[in-house]
Amino acid sequence: MRREIITVMILLVLVLPLFYFLSSRATNDDISGLSKGAIYTWDAELKVLDPSTGTYSHYWSARHFMHIVESKKSGDTLTVRMAYSTYYMDVVKLRYAKSDKSDRIANHRYGSLKRTYDLTTEKYVFILEKERWGFYIDFPFSPFMVFAVQERGFRMFLEGEYTKGYVSGMYMDRGILFDTWDIVLGTRRKVYYLEIYYSCMDLNLNETELGEMSVLEVNVEIDKELGIVLRLRYFWRLADKMFELMVELSDTNMFMKHRFTMTIVSLFIVLISIWVIVRYYKERRRRRIIRI
């Protein structure tokens, strides 16, 4: 039994500091998604739903990468340099619409760029690069954008900019916003969740087979600490097919991964250790009573 106690004490010494670290917030209010050295990777998949059969088909998978090489603020000017890429995998070369004269091929994109923002007019959202995934649609969200979530009045901006707006020429409520949390990469993250409905014609750049009544459904999660897009879903109709695009953060160096999972494991180990100690002292007390 003494060996068991020694083992338990060693486990407690190892686990309790880890549990304290994992349970604490361990955040810095000055940290944002545009911090120098920040690295993000997202995985994406495009699927098509054939309404006539009710079945989904895989079109392609993609991986988005973004590295903030430099981020410098001088007065009311913010300068950001980043390296980025979009790499497509498992591509099924098909025509998305009848009007396509050839198969649409998802082309890889990569490079580096420098962006300068005037913080007096652009202080809530920084669009580093547009991503359209091979469609002629002005998608409102992409991995290559970062929100200034710490800026005063941000939530009001988020609600006013995205959940209210013009739909086919009429100003109306077009979505909802609420504060919640999600498990991302095994870690609990506080997020802003938006569900928005756009008229595809309002976002149409040059798609000839977008119907006038076609709706773009958007679901997006924005991290409350970093301001990055954690999860993104688009669903819309083009020609005689329904398309679903899913994007999800798959790796980053900006927060500790699997913190929630490790906290649960740490709690489990602590509870087992407490049970072993209690059992030991009960057994010891019972032996003393027997001797008496």
For 184-198, the pLDDT digits (tens) are 999 999 999 999 999
39 part of a folded domain: yes
Does 275 lie in the same domain as 188?
A: no
Does 181 lie in the same domain as 167?
A: yes
Q: What is the pLDDT of residue 103?
A: 75
How many Cα atoms sit within 13 Å of 209 on the Cβ side? 13
129 part of a folded domain: yes
277, 5 contact by CB (below 8 A)? yes
Residue with tokens 């997006």: 220
Give the type of residue at 261. Answer: T
Does 275 lie in the same domain as 200?
A: no
Residue ranges making up the domain that contains 10:
2-22+264-291
Query: pLDDT of the chain along its 292 residues, tens only?
Result: 555 555 555 555 554 455 444 444 334 334 489 999 999 999 999 999 988 888 899 999 999 999 999 999 999 999 999 999 999 999 988 777 777 877 777 789 999 999 999 999 999 999 999 999 989 999 999 999 999 999 999 999 999 999 999 887 889 999 999 999 999 999 999 999 999 999 999 999 999 899 888 999 999 999 999 999 999 999 999 988 899 999 999 999 999 885 556 666 666 565 666 666 667 667 767 667 666 6
Does 197 lie in the same domain as 143?
A: yes
Q: What is the pLDDT of residue 29?
A: 39
Q: What is the pLDDT of residue 27?
A: 40
Does 77 lie in the same domain as 45?
A: yes
Does 138 lie in the same domain as 11?
A: no
Does 237 lie in the same domain as 149?
A: yes
How many domains does the chain divide into? Answer: 2
Q: What is the pLDDT of residue 84?
A: 97
Tell me the two tokens of residue 193. 């969740």
Does 81 lie in the same domain as 17?
A: no
259 part of a folded domain: no
Does 286 lie in the same domain as 248?
A: no
Does 277 lie in the same domain as 242?
A: no
Tell me the two tokens of residue 120. 């007096």
71, 34 contact by CB (below 8 A)? yes
Does 219 lie in the same domain as 97?
A: yes
Give the sign of the dihedral formed by CA 221, CA 216, CA 39, CA 116. Answer: negative
* Cα gap 198→229, rounded to integer Å: 19
